[in-house]
Structure 1
């Protein structure tokens, strides 16, 4: 299947920290076909990536999901897909470089990304669309937080698919993960971020974790879209490693996302995907997020083979999980978490 790809740039809401007339931008890509775009019964899928990633990393999943749904009933097919860059990541980081180096040198909170996604979802462009939100890691929290200010009857999403969401209550986070955050920040700051060419970058990344475990298609997309040419002729990460490092201690959006899950869980089906060997999210955090006694109920819970970076390592498995979630949209009774497939 050959997808049409339309790049789009959105201006975000003004922020008091920025100079008058200067606002951050969010970059996105729309994926569609001439046939799918005419199907007003189909799904509009929205994708939000993890820290250190970019919108194009979803492309193998997007393409395969179009294919998996293609022969099904019109209301189960994909009409279009939108993938967004966090304002400090990917092409958005290039457009926002001056602000990121001056008034935003301490990072862009996931709150602002969630707000930008929310503005897009509520825009005339999305009116009447059958929207499903898909997020990975921090992107899962941003997708959930995008509906925080929307009353439940007016939430425009039909469902969510959350892949390895980094959400936790403050008490559990500080008991299980807080001690690891400084080491993740330090490792990010020390990571190599510049190469003489894309070919050198590819050869270097292929030999080292976590990139050596990535699907070949995803790694190629990272080389082509996660790196930018510099005036000196070499290539560097589009997402400055300082901006990436600042994203890890920004934990309050993850806390608020847990509360938001409890608010919307009975009204909007939320499908959850865990990695069987997650090196980031302890099992106790996974189990706590799925605690139905706290009001958090999930339409399905699936565990896929792989590590925390499932989107990068196992895009085919994630696409099949998304396909199953789309097939379930419209089913009145959600599957209780305790009966879901683990």
Structure 2
């Protein structure tokens, strides 16, 4: 489906800087859209960026109901302020920060964006991967800014775990998170060119497990022009600072908070789960424990993919989301 994009950059107050923090979102508008259709809002995982969803978005924008009417009005995807393009605009703040960016700050940025009235009259459907899933649930909780109103939510491989599962498997979970954090900090982050970077990614985990289209997008949007004391060096570097990505793996408290919140969340809000069939970062018991907290609207498994299902099998994720958007997997009572 052909579409046009516009990028919107807003500045919101932050304890980090008197100049505030930049919040970056990209809107995808299809050539043919339905004013009464749903507006999809996407949130990425740690270490990723808003454009990671583009292969999936292109498919979903082309969906139509049985009468040929488009299902989607438009789609938006948002960077965490320390990730992707947003990290470029916030580089001075990130460079001087003593504390790494938290998912709570991403949440407050999105709530402030919603308060601008951009989505006035829209039916929002949140689609969120891993860390992004925590943002969506946090955005439903009471706070200084009003909770966000969603028609329904899709959690894709959420990085959530119950307190009970954590305590039972604490050694395993702590070991996995520490490994990810350390591995991220040891990762190479600068290359002479995008071509050299792509060759590097093609032979190393996790990138060599990704769909080639997603890797192409990562080379375009997951890298940025490298600088030394503010002067471009002619090289490219990871757009997301390693320290910011690494910190996301060890800041686990928000995940516990939202799981507890799930227990009290109004049952009338449908929550769907899209999971990989394989297990690496998130064992099956982590997902099952969360699913058992609150009856889901649906649970789908995407083949040939694990926690990084969006990167590994975008077509499978798109197929699962299609089933949700066209109502094929909803409980009969909800239709």
1:199 and 1:283, CA in 2 relative to 1: closer, same or farther beyond 3 A? same
SS at match of 2:54: helix
Question: How do 1:33-112 and structure 2 match up within 5 A?
Answer: 33-36=30-33, 39-67=34-62, 69-70=63-64, 72-73=66-67, 77-102=71-96, 104-112=97-105
Aligned to 2:249: 248
Aligned to 1:27: 24
**Alignment of 1:224 onto 2:220:** yes
> Shift of residue 54 of structure 1?
0.2
- Choose between structure 1 and 2: higher strand proportion: 2
Gaps of 5+ in 1: 336-342
Aligned to 1:300: 298
Q: CA RMSD in A?
A: 2.1
Aligned to 2:264: 263
Distance in 2 separating the partners of 1:243 and 1:66: 32
TM-score w.r.t. the length of structure 1 is: 0.89
> Shift of residue 186 of structure 1?
0.6
Aligned to 1:213: 209
When structure 1 is superposed on structure 2, of 88-97 and 260-269 the one drifting more is 260-269
Aligned to 2:275: 274
Aligned to 2:229: none
Distance in 2 separating the partners of 1:73 and 1:10: 38
1:169 and 1:183, CA in 2 relative to 1: closer, same or farther beyond 3 A? same
Aligned to 2:162: 169
Q: How many residue pairs are counted as aligned between the two chains?
A: 323
Distance in 2 separating the partners of 1:265 and 1:297: 11
> Shift of residue 72 of structure 1?
4.2
Gaps of 5+ in 2: 227-231
TM-score w.r.t. the length of structure 2 is: 0.91
> Shift of residue 213 of structure 1?
1.2
Distance in 1 separating the partners of 2:192 and 2:26: 28
SS at match of 2:324: helix
Distance in 2 separating the partners of 1:27 and 1:81: 14
Distance in 2 separating the partners of 1:121 and 1:54: 20
Superposed CA deviations along residues 55-110 of structure 1, whole A, max 9, x for unmatched, are: 0000000001112x1354577611100000001000110000000011x2431110
1:281 and 1:233, CA in 2 relative to 1: closer, same or farther beyond 3 A? same
